[in-house]
Chains A and B, each alone.
Chain A
Amino acid sequence: MDELINKLKKEVITQLNLEDISEDDINPDSPLFGEGLGLDSIDALELIVLLEKNYGIKIEDPKDGKKIFHSIRTMAEYITEHQKKA
């Protein structure tokens, strides 16, 4: 899990072009949106594409997004769960 979390941190920083933020600055349990990293709706779309492109995961129900993208850890858990099912 830790390995995936670190990988995800790198990918999120690159995908969202988060200048001035390093992997160490991201707490895997902090919220990605609002407080924490302060991401917005455009970033949410970027993260949806990231999951599909890098992990082959398509989010079927948009309502799940809030839970999946709560933090880096919830994203990692969702990916792990999805990969087990596959």
Chain B
Amino acid sequence: MTSMKPIYINGLGSVSPQDMANSSRFLSEVKRSQSNRLACIEPNYREFISPDILRRMGRLIKMGVASSRICLEDAGCMMPDAIITGTGLGCLEDTEKFLTTLVRNREELLTPTSFIQSTHNTVSAQIALLLKCHNYNFTYVHRGWSFESALIDSLIQLRNGQASTVLAGGMDELTNVSFAITQRLGHWRRKPVETLELLKSTDRGSIAGEGSAFFLLSSSQSPRSYAELAEVYTFNRKTSGKALQTILLDFLERSGIKPGDIDLAVCGINGDTSSARPYKELADNLKNAGIAAWKHLSGEYQTSSSFGLWMASMIMKHQLLPEVAVIRKSEERPFNTILLYNHYLDLNHSFILIRKP
């Protein structure tokens, strides 16, 4: 194991299907619904964005800008040295609007706004424009580990000293069209389900979701620090047999810890029986750790691990595991080391390791 510069999570901001307006309440009141999709509880955007700018923004841009603002305020940071985001499908609402007009008007009479706002990097660009931030700005579009790619780049920037603060985030939105298409692909439950009971039921398909979460990462610890972001690792292949075990143990060894050191594994269990095996394998390899989950609260989407990291960071800072997130309890012990494991369609897998600062 090589000694690396520690990187800290000094601020959080999120817009999700849960009420984030008051983070001190931390999932004390969760949204309960009977559905196969979850939509974000959106804040009053006028608190973050002026109406003349707001009028051109699609929903994902609004969610991204608002959550980034909440994050910067939480961290007490006015101007990050870099803005790095990840999104699986980008600004879908504007993309659909633009493409629909293209077809309906036979490729004529196209208006510019939805086209301009439809690109994947619009969120990070709008954040930079509003902050007048001319620093490094990058967006990763890597399917189920887009957010993790943004985190990996953030760690590189911070550890190499090219930035001392990075605003990193992950975001995706759900539209009626994208829901209908992925429903046909069998991604979601056919019938509405009691979302908080999702992980207890045994059926094919998950619930669709959406959200945006930002993190202010810094090379300096502050009294506000939530956690140390120790390591991020991704791999992109289907797992079978003992493959996950080997990769997990290698990752832990490289990170200088043993399986018994993990106090809590926060997992992307999504209620789809066809995607459960890797999570079970992970849990079997971390027998002493508690197991928690987040997708019954956020729904499944390409960058849902950003919600998972938000939740893990809150658990660490407040040393509190909300009952609603518990899958398996461990013996009472402080949360000093938390491993976040997620996979998207058993193709895009990721480990995110955080430690108590």
A-side interface residues toward B, CB under 8 Å? 15-20, 38, 42, 45-46, 49, 52-53
Please indicate the chain B residues that have their CB under 8 angstroms from the CB of A38 in the complex: 52
Verify A49–B109 contact, CB threshold 8 A: yes
Verify A17–B56 contact, CB threshold 8 A: yes
How does the 8 Å CB contact mask read for B46-73 relative to A, with 1 for contact and 0 for none?
0000011011100000000000000000
How many A-B residue pairs have C-beta atoms within 8 angstroms? Tell me: 25
**Sample (8) of A-B pairs whose CB atoms are under 8 Å apart:** A17-B55, A19-B54, A19-B55, A20-B51, A42-B112, A45-B112, A46-B112, A53-B105
Partner of A42, one of B54, B110, B113: B113
B247 within 8 A of A: no
Chain B residue total in the interface (Cβ 8 A)? 12
Give the distance in Å from the alpha carbon of A49 to the alpha carbon of B105 in the complex: 11
Give the distance in Å from the alpha carbon of A46 to the alpha carbon of B51 in the complex: 18
B-side interface residues toward A, CB under 8 Å? 51-52, 54-56, 105, 109-113, 116
Please indicate the chain B residues that have their CB under 8 angstroms from the CB of A49 in the complex: 109-111
Give the distance in Å from the alpha carbon of A80 to the alpha carbon of B281 in the complex: 73
Please indicate the chain A residues that have their CB under 8 angstroms from the CB of B54 in the complex: 19
Please indicate the chain A residues that have their CB under 8 angstroms from the CB of B55 in the complex: 16-19
Nearest-neighbour CB distance to chain A for B147, whole angstroms, equals 30
Verify A46–B109 contact, CB threshold 8 A: no
Please indicate the chain A residues that have their CB under 8 angstroms from the CB of B110 in the complex: 49
Nearest-neighbour CB distance to chain A for B44, whole angstroms, equals 13
Nearest-neighbour CB distance to chain B for A59, whole angstroms, equals 13
Nearest-neighbour CB distance to chain B for A52, whole angstroms, equals 6
Please indicate the chain B residues that have their CB under 8 angstroms from the CB of A52 in the complex: 109
Nearest-neighbour CB distance to chain A for B223, whole angstroms, equals 39
Please indicate the chain B residues that have their CB under 8 angstroms from the CB of A19 in the complex: 51, 54-55
Most-contacted residue by chain A among B54, B56, B105 (CB, 10 A): B56
Please indicate the chain A residues that have their CB under 8 angstroms from the CB of B113 in the complex: 42, 46
Give the distance in Å from the alpha carbon of A46 to the alpha carbon of B113 in the complex: 8
Given contacts A15-B111, A17-B56, 5 further A-B contacts (CB under 8 A): A17-B55, A42-B116, A45-B112, A46-B111, A49-B109
Verify B52–A42 contact, CB threshold 8 A: no
Nearest-neighbour CB distance to chain A for B264, whole angstroms, equals 44
Give the distance in Å from the alpha carbon of A38 to the alpha carbon of B53 in the complex: 12
Please indicate the chain A residues that have their CB under 8 angstroms from the CB of B112 in the complex: 42, 45-46
Please indicate the chain B residues that have their CB under 8 angstroms from the CB of A42 in the complex: 56, 112-113, 116
Please indicate the chain B residues that have their CB under 8 angstroms from the CB of A20 in the complex: 51
Please indicate the chain B residues that have their CB under 8 angstroms from the CB of A45 in the complex: 111-112
Give the distance in Å from the alpha carbon of A85 to the alpha carbon of B181 in the complex: 48
Give the distance in Å from the alpha carbon of A52 to the alpha carbon of B111 in the complex: 11
Give the distance in Å from the alpha carbon of A19 to the alpha carbon of B44 in the complex: 14
- Which chain A residue has the least Cβ–Cβ distance from B54? A19
Give the distance in Å from the alpha carbon of A34 to the alpha carbon of B226 in the complex: 45
Nearest-neighbour CB distance to chain A for B25, whole angstroms, equals 30
Give the distance in Å from the alpha carbon of A45 to the alpha carbon of B111 in the complex: 7
Give the distance in Å from the alpha carbon of A15 to the alpha carbon of B56 in the complex: 10
Please indicate the chain B residues that have their CB under 8 angstroms from the CB of A17 in the complex: 55-56
Partner of A53, one of B51, B56, B109, B116: B109
- Which chain A residue has the least Cβ–Cβ distance from B52? A38
Nearest-neighbour CB distance to chain B for A35, whole angstroms, equals 13
Nearest-neighbour CB distance to chain A for B315, whole angstroms, equals 38
Give the distance in Å from the alpha carbon of A63 to the alpha carbon of B95 in the complex: 31
Sort A-B residue pairs by CB-CB distance and give the 4 closest, nearest first. Answer: A17-B55, A45-B112, A53-B109, A49-B111
